Chains A and B, each alone.
Chain A
Amino acid sequence: MERDTDRYRSLTRRALMLGGMQVGLLSTLVARMYYLQVLESDRYTVLADENRINMRLLAPSRGQVLDRFGVPLAVNQQNFRVVMVQEQARKIDRMLTLISEIVPLTEADWRRITREIQRKRAFVPVTVKENLTWDQVTMIEVNAPDLPGVSIEVGELRSYPYEAATAHFLGYVGAVSESELNGDPVLALPGFRIGKSGMEKFHDASLRGVAGTSQLEVNAVGRVIRELSRQEGQPGRDITLTIDIGLQQYAQDRLKEEKSAAAVVMDVHTGGIYSMASNPSYDPNLFTTGINAEAWEDLLSDPTTPLTNKVVGGQYAPGSTFKMLVALAALDSGIVGPRHTVFCPGHMDLGDHRFHCWKKGGHGTLDLVGALKHSCDTFFYDLARRIGIDRIHDMAKRFGMGQRTQLDLPSERPGLIPSRDWKQANLGKSWTQGESLIAAIGQGYVLATPLQLAVMLSRLVNGGFAVKPHLTKQIERGPAEQTAWPSLGVNKTHLDMVLQGMNAVMNQPGGTAYKMRISEAGYEMGGKTGTSQVRRITMAERSTGVLKNEQLPWRQRDHALFVGFAPLHAPRYACAVIVEHGGGGSAVAAPIARDILLEVQRRDSARGAPQLSSAVPAAEPARTAPPPGLGDKPGRIGG
């Protein structure tokens, strides 16, 4: 009994100790709970939400690109695609066979679908086919009861209704490349596309819009349970271009008659570009859906460079279209007076070198207007010899040559206007006078893009204002076009003389483009032809007779150029045309420019713009161009 009492006391004591230990251990559990649920609660709440809340971006709708009258040039087409959820479809092969009766599936489609099904979770939809026709969509919807797990989703696909006609300035959109990822999560969205070239690229930030977000509650395997909240994004802004799509299509079609050519029409007061055509072109829609390697290779290797927008990316010796600037530089220098005449025997000798005029027999005695009219080379050799290259260079720069025009389009090239300093710096040699003579007829080192020629002409005919070209008319309700350009400070009478010369080219018998003048009553134009040599004519060849263009392979033929403006007495449109290896400017380029300028004026009157007076005698120069910003668009619809 004694023993049992001892034993019981011991047991009680130990039981209490054990109980104490248990209380202690249970207290650590409570302490741990306090730590996790009170002290660290915020942290775990965040982690829990990160667990279950999946932020999904909602791709914004891309802004449209419109022409100056609001005609859509780049739109978003509904892209219907048929998708399949494998856990609902169950018998996938059977389901695909059923679908393929409505939407044909290629061997490659089957392979891709099978691969995606294996990779994705059973509840994630797999795209079976994109770009369904409306008929196919309805067929699938009608057969929905037989197609469990199959459904139609609507996405957006960029589409260019005018295809090749707009490819060069609109550019196209494409999948985001690795190097374009900049941390903006919207770029990482599957199927998201961004502007790759042209206006699509230049205005990508505006067109793109702002992505919305959707908060989804997902479970541990990522299945969406419900949408918690949704914040709609902002669709991209619409961009209105200065382009007139009717004119653009006309120009593009007109150029198709030539192997490789470019033409641009711009407003001489606003700088707005009405048309920018470059032939051959390509279908930008091919790029949105993904162009195949073979077609891409063909585009790249084509010698007529369909991928290049020749209006801004082609650099050509401007030939005689450069002569107006030489004339202006001469008059401006004061070294040559307005009544200066030169006798052209068909050539000019400088040192022991003979510089030929294009007319073998010579033009006889010519004044400045006559020299422009006949495009006499000798006359301009004479001017260049008197004033030197640097005066020509300075004048050309003032008129926008030899530098990028700051057009709102990527991939513009600068052209080249040489000077003494330029040659010294770049070639390490000093300038020779002979080179000045060559430059004066727009050959040699001189290079210009068709756009630069149009800008140069615009500045000549708008009264000497430093207009700059642009394609963007408006970004939604953004700022309107600029028209108040600074004056170039060129003497108006000098400009008038040049304009008179360009009038004579077209409208006086004997002018180099007289045969190509506008014959329709009520329409007129002025202009200047240009033919630029691509190859060097050797002395030997000259003695045996220069080969005609038709005798040469295409690549060695001369470029045909023309710059023209209309209307004659209140110039509004400037047009520059280049036909690569087309031959003579008067025969090939002039008719294109004429047709385009006629078309643009017709479109004016068709829209009810007041007929511009042609009552002013042709001989009388257009004394005053309308002040910038006023004479621009009288009564223009939608302008």
Chain B
Amino acid sequence: MSGDFLGHQPELSLGEKLWQINWKLILLLTAIASVGWAMLYSAANGNVDPWASRQAVRFGAGICVMVVVGLIDLRIWLRLSYPIYGVALVLLIAVEIVGEIGMGAQRWIDLGIIQIQPSEIMKIAIVLALARYFHGASLEEVGRPTFLIVPLLMVLAPVGLVMKQPDLGTALMVMMVGGAIFFLVGVRLWKFAIVLAGGAASIPVAWQFLHDYQKNRVLIFLNPENDPLGAGYHITQSKIALGSGGVAGKGYMMGSQSHLNFLPEKQTDFIFTMLAEELGMIGGTGLLLLYSLLIAYGVIIALRCRNQFGRLVGLGVSTNLFLYVFINIAMVMGLIPVVGIPLPLISYGGTAMLTVLFGFGLVMSVYIHRDVRITRRTVAGEL
């Protein structure tokens, strides 16, 4: 039965691919990034230095990477998915070892020109690896618990390593992206219930493994007034800045709390607070709308794809973006404990931007190769 499909495989020329480049996607991403530049310009009191200009350069480079990734055949990405995951896992272990040599938390590998954060690579690699694993799986197979052992390990191995770094935010994201894909491929809900119950039961044990500062963060989250000047200061100040912004905001570049440095890390993790202070609820909701459009667009592209791998990659990348946005904004609003997750495309920083743009490069590839059919056997044969 596979023969039929192999016969209809459309091979796209480079020209056809270039024609297929999804400008709407690039436009949406640029729109969001522009908001980021504007906020970084404001954060530097009306200067492109030191943040806005560098961020723009990074975005330019990121878009190029994205287009290149998009032009590469989805089947190649399918073939590379396990090696990429493997490399990411090895890098995580390497960082662990280097981290032991260095001091405290180590999340980066310095390659001279750029610093690589393996945990960021893992956010994409886990999507690719799980998409590949479930690409050929029928609903019956997914229904077999033994079939789920391998992907579970695929998720838990990096989660464990990232937790050790320690990077609670990334661990959370990897876990949730994994969970989302498990959910999408049809794992029964009661199995999630069991895992959740097990997770809840293991909280007291997990608590023992948390670093003191992480325990503190959780405790402070539960009662921020306990520590108004210490670790609770950030979240209290963030809420003050946000709340005092009101509906219409204090005006662009007029955010007193951000500009008088009451707001910590206004150019990175807390940039949404500054946006909400200066542009108010209107600005905040507007940005959320832009993100929603991007996520929804990713989902639409995924669902229009004719192969399971592409669908899962598209949905995984979209879910990834959603998690970035939700965790970051929920954090600065005091809905969840403070974890180090940037606001994608807006927070100052290169790695997260590259991850997101690389992810959307894959989405573009899914779009370009939406009509490519890849059977289970194809995969097996090629391996």
Task: For the complex of A and B, list the 8 residue pairs with the smallest distance between their C-beta atoms, beginning with the closest.
Answer: A44-B243, A48-B244, A219-B260, A220-B261, A36-B243, A37-B281, A44-B244, A220-B262
Q: Are B247 and A37 in contact (CB under 8 A)?
A: yes
A19 / chain B contacts, CB cutoff of 8 Å:
296, 299
0 or 1 for each of B128-169: is its CB under 8 Å from A? (1 = yes): 000000000011000000000000000000000000000000
A33-B333, A45-B246, A52-B256 given; A14·B138 CB < 8 A: no
A7 to chain B: which residues have CB within 8 Å?
138-139, 186, 308
Given contacts A3-B138, A218-B260, A225-B260, contact A14 B288 (CB under 8 A): no
Say whether, besides A15-B303, A37-B247, A51-B240, A32 and B333 are in contact (CB < 8 Å): yes
Let me know if B262 and A51 touch, CB within 8 A: yes
Candidate in A6, A36, A45, A220 with the most chain B CB atoms within 10 angstroms? A36
Assess the A18–B315 pair: CB atoms within 8 A: yes
Q: In the assembly, what is the distance between CA of A259 and CA of B180, in Å?
A: 101
- Residues on the A chain within 8 Å of B319, using CB: 18, 22
Task: Report which of B245, B262, B315, B322 forms a contact with A219, defined as CB distance below 8 A.
Answer: B262
On chain A, the residues within 8 Å of B308 by CB distance are: 4, 7-8, 11
CA distance A29 to B295 in the complex (A): 16
CB-CB contacts below 8 Å: B225-251 with A:
237, 239-247
The reply on B280 being an interface residue by CB < 8 A is yes
Contacts of A430 in B (CB 8 A): none
> B284 on the interface (CB 8 Å rule)?
yes
| Residues of A near any B CB (own CB < 8 A) | 1, 3-4, 6-8, 10-12, 14-15, 17-19, 22-23, 25-26, 28-30, 32-34, 36-38, 40-41, 43-45, 47-49, 51-52, 217-221, 225
- Confirm or deny: B1 has a beta carbon within 8 angstroms of a beta carbon on chain A: yes
A32 adjacent to B139 (CB under 8 Å): no
Q: How large is the interface on B (under 10, 10 to 19, 20 to 34, 35 or more residues)?
A: 35 or more
Q: Which of A17, A29, A52 has the most CB of B within 10 A?
A: A29
How many Å from the CB of B52 to the closest CB on chain A?
Answer: 21
Q: Which secondary structure dominates chain B's binding surface? A: helix
5 more contacts with CB within 8 A, not counting A32-B330, A41-B247, are A23-B292, A29-B333, A47-B240, A48-B244, A220-B261
Interface contact A41-B246, CB-CB below 8 Å: yes
With a cutoff of 8 Å between Cβ atoms, the chain B residues found around residue A15 in the complex are: 184, 299, 302-303, 315
Point out the residues of chain A lying under 8 angstroms from B256, CB to CB.
48, 52, 217
CB-defined contacts of B47 to chain A, threshold 8 Å: none
Question: Nearest Cβ distance between residue B95 and chain A, in whole angstroms?
Answer: 31
- B178 CB to closest chain A CB (Å) equals 13
* Nearest CB on A from B167, distance (A): 22
Assuming the A-B contacts A18-B183, A51-B240, are A29 and B246 also in contact, with contact meaning beta carbons closer than 8 angstroms in the complex?
no
In the complex, whether B285 has a CB less than 8 A from a CB of chain A is yes
Chain A residues whose C-beta falls within 8 Å of the C-beta of B252 in the assembled complex: none
B184: chain A residues within 8 A (beta carbon) = 11, 14-15, 18
Contact A38 B246 (CB under 8 A): yes
Most buried by B among A17, A37, A44, A49: A37
A48–B241 contact, CB under 8 A? yes
Interface hub of A10, A18, A45 (most chain B Cβ within 10 A) = A18
Q: Check A29–B257 contact: CB distance below 8 A.
A: no
Q: Is the CB of A37 within 8 A of B315?
A: no
Please tell me which one of the listed residues A17, A47, A219 contacts residue B244 in the complex, with CB atoms under 8 A apart: A47
Write the nearest CB–CB distance from A578 to chain B, whole angstroms: 63
Q: Are B257 and A52 in contact (CB under 8 A)?
A: yes
**CB of B94 closer than 8 Å to a CB of A:** no
A583 to chain B, nearest CB (A): 72
- On chain B, the residues within 8 Å of A41 by CB distance are 243-247
Q: How far is the CB of B1 from chain A (nearest CB, A)?
A: 7
B335 at the binding interface (Cβ < 8 Å): yes
B-chain residues with CB within 8 Å of residue A4 when the two chains form the complex: 308
Residue numbers in A under 8 Å from B237 (CB-CB)? 51
CA of A36 to CA of B246, assembled, Å: 8
Most-contacted residue by chain A among B139, B240, B308 (CB, 10 A): B240
- Min CB distance, A589 to chain B, in Å? 69
The smallest beta-carbon distance between A282 and chain B, in angstroms, is: 48
Q: Whole-angstrom distance between the alpha carbons of A51 and B243 in the complex?
A: 13
**Closest residue to A3 on the B side, CB-wise?**
B138
Contact with A along B305-339 (1 / 0, CB 8 A): 00010010001000100100110011001010000
Nearest neighbor of B285 in chain A, beta-carbon distance: A30
Task: Decide: A36 near B296, CB < 8 A? Known: A15-B303, A28-B335.
Answer: no
Bound Cα distance from A14 to B303, whole angstroms: 11
Interface set of B (CB-CB < 8 Å, partner A): 1, 138-139, 180, 183-186, 237, 239-247, 256-257, 260-262, 276, 280-281, 284-285, 288, 291-292, 295-296, 299, 302-303, 308, 311, 315, 319, 322, 325-326, 329-330, 333, 335
Complex-state Cα separation, A19 to B241, whole angstroms: 31
**Inside 8 A of A40's CB, which chain B residues have their CB?**
243
Whether B335 contacts A33 by the Cβ 8 Å rule is no
CB atoms of A14 and B243 under 8 A apart? no
12 residue pairs of the A-B complex, CB under 8 angstroms, read: A10-B185, A11-B303, A18-B184, A25-B322, A25-B326, A26-B291, A29-B288, A29-B330, A38-B247, A44-B243, A51-B240, A221-B261
B-side contacts of A30, CB under 8 Å: 285, 288
Bound complex: CA A14 to CA B188 (Å)? 11
Residues of A within 8 A of B311 (CB): 8, 11
Q: Which residues of A contact B276 (CB under 8 A)?
A: 33, 37
A37 in complex: contacting residue of B260, B284, B330, CB < 8 Å: B284
Query: Given that A18-B315, A22-B295, A38-B246 are known contacts, is A10 also in contact with B288, CB under 8 Å in the complex?
Result: no
Give B244 Cβ to nearest chain A Cβ, in Å.
4
Are A38 and B281 closer than 8 Å at their CB atoms? yes
Interface centre among B260, B303, B319, B329 (most CB of A within 10 A): B260
Please give the distance in Å from A605's CB to the nearest CB on chain B. Answer: 70
Contact B322 A22 (CB under 8 A): yes
Q: Are A43 and B186 in contact (CB under 8 A)?
A: no
Instruction: Report A217 CB to chain B, min CB distance, Å.
Output: 7
Known contacts A26-B288, A33-B284, A48-B244: A11-B326 contact under CB 8 Å:
no
For A25, give the chain B residue with the smallest CB separation: B326
The distance from the CB of B367 to the nearest CB of chain A, in whole angstroms, is 16
Whether A34 lies near B281 (C-beta < 8 A) is yes
**Cα of A192 to Cα of B194 in the assembled complex, Å:** 70
A221: chain B residues at CB < 8 Å are: 261
CB distance from B323 to the nearest CB of A (A): 9
What's the least CB distance linking B282 to chain A, in Å? Answer: 9
CA distance A22 to B183 in the complex (A): 14
A43 to B239, CA, bound (A): 11
B322: nearest chain-A partner, CB-CB: A22
Tell me if B257 and A14 are in contact (CB < 8 A): no
A26–B295 Cα distance when bound, in Å, is 11
List B contacts of A18 (CB < 8 A): 180, 183-184, 315, 319
What are the residues of chain A within 8 A of B299 when measuring CB–CB? Answer: 15, 19
Q: What separation, in Å, do the CA atoms of A32 and B295 have in the docked complex?
A: 21
Which of these, A3, A26, A36, A218, contacts B242 with CB under 8 Å? A36
Alpha-carbon gap, A262 to B202, bound state (A): 90
| B329 / chain A contacts, CB cutoff of 8 Å | 29
Specify the chain B residue showing the minimal Cβ separation from A6: B139
